[in-house]
Amino acid sequence: MFSKVLVANRGEIAVRILRTLRELGLASVAVCSDVDREALHARLADETVGLGDPRPAASYLDIAKLLDAARRTGAQAIHPGYGFLAENPEFARRVADAGLVFIGPSADALARLGNKTAARRTMRGVGVPIIPGLDAPESDPRRLADAAERLGYPVLVKAAAGGGGKGMRVAASPAELQEAAEAAAGEAASSFGDGAIYLEKYLDRPRHVEFQILADAHGNVVHLFERECSIQRRHQKLVEETPSPALDEELRERMGRAAVAAARAAGYVNAGTVEFLLVGRDFYFLEVNARIQVEHPITELLTGLDLVRCQLEIAAGTPLPFRQEDVGRRGHAIECRVYAEDPQRGFAPSPGRILLARLPAGPGVRCDAGIFTGAEVPVYYDPILAKVAVHAPDRPAAVARLVRALEECVVLGVATPIELLLEVVRSEPFAAGRTHTRFLDEHFPDWRPADSADDPALVGFVLDRLAGGTGATGAAATPDVPDVSSPWRRLGAWGRSA
């Protein structure tokens, strides 16, 4: 095992990785841009190296700066987290060329599977069903238009690199195609340093089901069961759960075999996720996320495994200590993502200072977060703040626990969609497990948050609390136990410029 690891990321995923490093007794190095110098990940690491300019291309996407930070601190390995350079073959190759260990798949595997069009070709070769579409990137407007006509509208314009729902746009007609292609390419270039795009046939109302895989360097490959991630907004997952309400054991077995076959075909090593779209009992390969996923906590809750620890051990050359038949699961787990996004402004990013952060806890509740009261949320990066995950013996109990956890989650100073998440998980269609990728469009098409910004009582409540008062409105209130029926539940981003 390594003695020192550099975490080439920020926010809640950097914090998550750093905590496992601490448990294993491994020294840690964080990197931070100028706006992240006081961020939680920078505070938790044993050493921190500044990257300067906060723009992603000049900081967290600057390979030379990251390698220099590893060299200067004596780090032996680099964990890329997710996003930024996590699925960049050039980064993995240059890490290896520098004599360091990349905690993820090889550069060759990243090229085959991290790139979605290359992955489609690989899947086609081993007989895994794929969605009709292009098997190579395309940027020429005329050829894109011809391909869209062959596939039939609507089509999905997708980034060939990266993941996380970035670089994706739906085009329902020729008139929308060029604008969608330009927007997708621009977002992909900004997020992943690669603006290549391609087309797939857009499937209406499928379920999004993915399988977590682990593969070591000794030929052992297992899956850790599925996660359903169907509830999405703009192709960004909001709610994830495991097991999926849509899968029985026969379908789970078929999809799991396909996921393992995909990893073997690509010579994949380390942790990854094979994603499928499910229509009835038919499933289609979507992509491979060649990294640890945002939603990995629910798999950890279900299986009892620490996936970051598994990643570290695999990267150090250790064989997997279990076979497929040894992987067990218990209960049900659900996760909601909390973003700094303003529902009043079309879910635009909501940067600013966090005036108050109260994160949920208690039995069966896990909250992976990169924030604290007083932290700054920069404008430059993905706006995810935290992931609220719960585990319970069965799905109804998990839903009830998630409602309780979200009710306890209070973030003031930046806007969040917590109110929407609560309405989703309390809804009858969600309780019944009737989820699909257009769930929000179907059940919450005109959703708007309660508008409380001009309520004089709420303004007075906040001013009193910021001045050191209790803010009590009748019932006793304490600094550490939020009253979920109080005005705090409805304040949103009030006062974020304070």
Q: Are 30 and 8 a contacting pair, CB within 8 Å?
A: no
Catalytic annotation, pick one of 252, 291, 401, 465? 291
Cβ neighbours for 357, distance < 8 A, ≥ 6 positions apart: 369, 371, 372, 373, 375, 410, 411, 412
* H/E run at residue 340: none
CB of 54 within 8 A of CB of 376?
no
Burial of 110 (0-12, 13-18, 19+ CB in 10 A): buried
The two tokens of residue 479 are 């600094």
Which of 319, 327, 143 lies closest to 215 in space, CA to CA? 319
Q: Which of 51, 35, 38, 39 is nearest to 13 (CA)?
A: 39
3-state helix, strand, coil in the chain (%, to 5): 35, 25, 40
Torsion of CA 488, 455, 448, 180, to 10 degrees: -100
* Neighbouring C-beta atoms of residue 23, cutoff 10 Å: 11
Residue 451 class from Cβ within 10 Å (0-12 exposed, 13-18 middle, 19+ buried)? exposed
DSSP strand pairing (221-233 vs 236-242): antiparallel
Q: How far is CA 369 from the centre of its chain?
A: 12
Query: What 3-state class would DSSP assign to 360?
Result: coil
Beta bridge partners of 5: 28, 77
Rounded alpha-carbon distances, angstroms, from residue 37 to 43, 105, 220, 223: 8, 30, 40, 38
Is 291 considered catalytic here?
Answer: yes
**Amino acid making up residue 386:** A
Tokens found for residue 492: 């949103």
Neighbour-count burial of 324, counting CB atoms closer than 10 A to its CB (0-12 exposed, 13-18 middle, 19+ buried): middle
Cα dihedral sign for 47, 51, 53, 57?
negative
Q: Which residues are catalytic?
A: 291
